[in-house]
């Protein structure tokens, strides 16, 4: 590409090796989750939420299980201020939920923020100022010491206002644009703020290290987090927090490696909403942990319902390929994938293994409110016999013999290919019925009676066109006798009769389903299916359907 020389790596590596996180295999416990949907997420919407929408969204976050929720920047607008006052005055904040508010390190904003918090049972006051080299040089045009003075004046005023305001307040500091800040400077400014606040076991301080702009590979961010964790003052009384954005598409990886590196808390949003490419997606983070057998301490057992509320309130769309929540993420169209999934699901039914291990499915879709039917396997021209058979079995209770699945698979794929579309389960069922079930032309089965049960002699009444007649045959069983009668009447030969059957449903009104395959003289297999309340009648109807298939194709 042109202009590649314009770009250089704008991040800063720690001055010492910080790689202990590489020795950890996976995240063993959930972090403290803080939703910033109502601040970061809301400010990134084309049309920000109104008061009623914010209140509904807050309720959703509480129901999911968030214990810390950043509710806004109350000094920024009257809507933000009114939302916070409504939460407090209407007592809408559960006792076990802590609200968080954001403020710049500016006196009038800090004082307005504390005014908005009057009466709050517990709140985190989140102070930030930009510290990156680019911000210092281009935006503020200030030295490092001047930037530190901004942070310290804000930290001191927070402490003063907290003493003057009734309430229970916890402090948080973010060196905004941390990833573009020299690491030694980031450490210095955070420690200077900690020296002002002097955290204790009873009143810990949150130090939040945002990837305001994601600028490096995730392992670099992890090394930065580990270095900070190892060198922060009052470390045992500091809650180390992450706030990754997704500029490089690595927000989830940044957060996961950052947790391995010592972070205890994560700020993010549902489905990754936020400025530019968005904040880190807490849904994906939490369910990634869930897939490793670790309880994320958030309830995503009904992802479709959560996504529906999210889309309605934000006017944003959850992508079809969004991990876990997307419409298509558990869906296989490929024939080989469908076959493996269908066999994996059957294995679970037969063996009941203790852990989930179905091929191609990271977690059980039902654990997050998704359905097997219509979610896992969907049918188009790329699908195979396994998936098509699975849809019939799950939706309609039809368990086709393997060779019949293959035969029917080609029928379905041809229809999908010709129509250039996905086929719904009812369309697949209709194709099956049309092609195989109780076929009545050119010869319709009416009834039969046995003349001799020992010699298996039978009389079969059939209709061909407008003519009804009786045909006779014998064999080594009832079905064989009827088969021989048909072959003699139609003047056809076939061999290798394949037969299977099962009950379609349980109960006194259950129907029997029979499948029959016959091999014609040219070696081609022809299949039929019969459905009847009587098992022998279903077998005969299946035989007639297969023979009619052969006659049609002859």
The answer to whether residues 399 and 495 belong to one domain is no
Distance CA 266, CA 218 (A): 15
The answer to whether residues 247 and 120 belong to one domain is yes
Nearest to 206 by CA among 269, 118, 128: 128
Give 70's Cβ-side CA count (13 Å radius): 27
User: What is the reported pLDDT for 77?
Assistant: 87
Nearest to 433 by CA among 412, 451, 419: 412
435 within a domain of the structure (yes/no): no
The answer to whether residues 416 and 510 belong to one domain is no
Domain that holds residue 525: 444-553
CA dihedral sign, ordered 62, 68, 69, 75: positive
- Among 279, 314, 349, identify where a domain stops: 314
The answer to whether residues 478 and 418 belong to one domain is no
We report the CATH number of the domain holding residue 547 as 3.30.160.270
Tokens of 90: 């209407």
Helix (H) or strand (E) holding 175: strand 169-176
The answer to whether residues 464 and 546 belong to one domain is yes
User: How many domains does the chain contain in total?
Assistant: 3
The answer to whether residues 58 and 135 belong to one domain is yes
Distance CA 255, CA 220 (A): 12
Nearest to 186 by CA among 15, 7, 9, 8: 15
We report the CATH number of the domain holding residue 278 as 3.20.20.70
Nearest to 448 by CA among 476, 479, 475: 479
360 within a domain of the structure (yes/no): yes
Q: Which residues pair with 501 in a beta bridge?
A: 514
325 within a domain of the structure (yes/no): no
User: What is the reported pLDDT for 69?
Assistant: 98
Distance CA 21, CA 219 (A): 9
Give the DSSP letter of residue 478: H
Q: Which residues pair with 69 in a beta bridge?
A: 35, 99
Q: Cβ distance 482 to 458 under 8 Å?
A: yes
The answer to whether residues 358 and 295 belong to one domain is no
User: What is the reported pLDDT for 507?
Assistant: 53
Q: Which stretches in the chain have pLDDT values below 70?
A: 373-385, 452-453, 505-509, 554
329 within a domain of the structure (yes/no): no
392 within a domain of the structure (yes/no): yes
5 within a domain of the structure (yes/no): no
- What digits encode the pLDDT tens for the residues 60-91? 999 999 999 999 999 988 889 999 999 999 99
Distance CA 34, CA 97 (A): 10
- Among 365, 392, 422, identify where a domain stops: 422
Give 225's Cβ-side CA count (13 Å radius): 33
- Among 391, 422, 453, identify where a domain stops: 422
Across the beta sheet with 467-474, the strand order is 444-452, 457-464, 467-474
β-pair type (457-464, 467-474):
antiparallel
CA dihedral sign, ordered 355, 357, 361, 365: negative
Distance CA 171, CA 168 (A): 10
Q: Tokens 């019969």 belong to which residue? A: 530
Distance CA 403, CA 29 (A): 48
The answer to whether residues 116 and 207 belong to one domain is yes
432 within a domain of the structure (yes/no): no
CA dihedral sign, ordered 380, 386, 390, 393: positive
The answer to whether residues 175 and 261 belong to one domain is yes
The answer to whether residues 417 and 449 belong to one domain is no
The answer to whether residues 258 and 222 belong to one domain is yes
319 within a domain of the structure (yes/no): no
Nearest to 235 by CA among 281, 194, 271, 269: 194
Give the DSSP letter of residue 40: I
- What digits encode the pLDDT tens for the residues 367-414? 999 987 666 666 665 666 677 788 888 888 899 998 898 888 888 878
The answer to whether residues 410 and 485 belong to one domain is no
């Amino acid at each position: 590409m042109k202009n590649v020389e314009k770009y250089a790596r704008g991040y800063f590596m720690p001055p010492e090796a910080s790689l202990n996180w590489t020795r950890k295999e996976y995240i063993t416990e959930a972090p403290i989750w803080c939703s910033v949907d109502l601040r970061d997420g809301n400010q990134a919407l084309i049309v920000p939420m109104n008061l009623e929408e914010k209140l509904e969204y807050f309720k959703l976050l509480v129901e999911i299980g968030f214990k810390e929720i950043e509710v806004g920047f109350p000094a920024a607008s009257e809507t933000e201020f009114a939302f916070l006052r409504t939460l407090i005055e209407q007592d809408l904040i559960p006792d076990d939920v802590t609200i968080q508010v954001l403020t710049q390190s500016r006196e009038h904003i800090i004082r307005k923020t504390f005014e908005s918090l009057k009466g709050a049972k517990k709140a985190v006051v989140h102070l930030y100022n930009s510290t990156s080299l680019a911000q210092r040089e281009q935006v503020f045009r200030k030295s490092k010491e001047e930037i530190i003075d901004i942070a310290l004046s804000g930290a001191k005023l927070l402490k003063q206002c907290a003493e003057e305001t009734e309430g229970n307040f916890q402090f948080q500091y973010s060196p905004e644009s941390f990833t573009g800040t020299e690491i030694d400077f980031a450490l210095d400014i955070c420690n200077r703020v900690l020296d002002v606040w002097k955290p204790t076991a009873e009143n810990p301080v949150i130090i939040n290290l945002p990837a305001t702009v994601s600028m490096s590979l995730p392992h670099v961010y992890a090394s930065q987090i580990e270095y900070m964790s190892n060198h922060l003052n009052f470390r045992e009384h500091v809650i180390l927090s992450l706030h990754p954005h997704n500029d490089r598409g690595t927000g989830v990886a940044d957060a996961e490696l950052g947790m391995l590196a010592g972070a205890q808390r994560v700020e993010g949003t549902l489905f990754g909403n936020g400025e530019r490419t968005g904040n880190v997606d807490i849904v994906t983070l939490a369910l990634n942990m869930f897939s490793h057998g670790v309880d994320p301490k958030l309830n995503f057992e009904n992802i479709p319902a959560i996504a529906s509320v999210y889309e309605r309130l934000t006017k944003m769309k959850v992508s079809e390929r969004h991990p876990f929540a997307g419409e298509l993420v558990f869906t296989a169209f490929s024939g080989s994938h469908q076959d493996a999934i269908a066999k994996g699901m059957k294995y679970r039914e037969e063996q009941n293994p203790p852990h989930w291990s179905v091929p191609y499915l990271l977690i059980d879709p039902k654990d997050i409110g998704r359905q097997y039917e219509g979610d896992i396997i969907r049918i188009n021209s790329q699908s195979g016999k396994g998936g098509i058979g699975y849809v019939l079995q799950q939706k309609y209770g039809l368990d086709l013999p393997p060779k019949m699945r293959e035969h029917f698979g080609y029928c379905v794929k041809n229809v999908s290919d010709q129509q250039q579309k996905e086929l719904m389960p009812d369309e697949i069922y209709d194709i099956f019925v049309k092609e195989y079930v109780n076929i009545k032309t050119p010869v319709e089965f009416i009834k039969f009676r046995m003349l001799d049960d020992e010699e298996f002699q039978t009389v079969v009444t059939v209709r061909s066109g407008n003519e009804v007649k009786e045909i006779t045959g014998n064999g080594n069983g009832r079905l064989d006798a009827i088969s021989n009668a048909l072959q003699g009447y139609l003047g056809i030969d076939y061999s290798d009769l394949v037969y299977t059957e099962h009950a379609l449903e349980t109960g006194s009104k259950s129907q029997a389903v029979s499948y029959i395959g016959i091999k014609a003289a040219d070696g081609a297999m022809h299949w039929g299916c019969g459905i009847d309340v009587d098992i022998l009648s279903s077998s005969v109807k299946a035989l007639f359907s297969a023979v009619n298939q052969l006659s049609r194709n002859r």
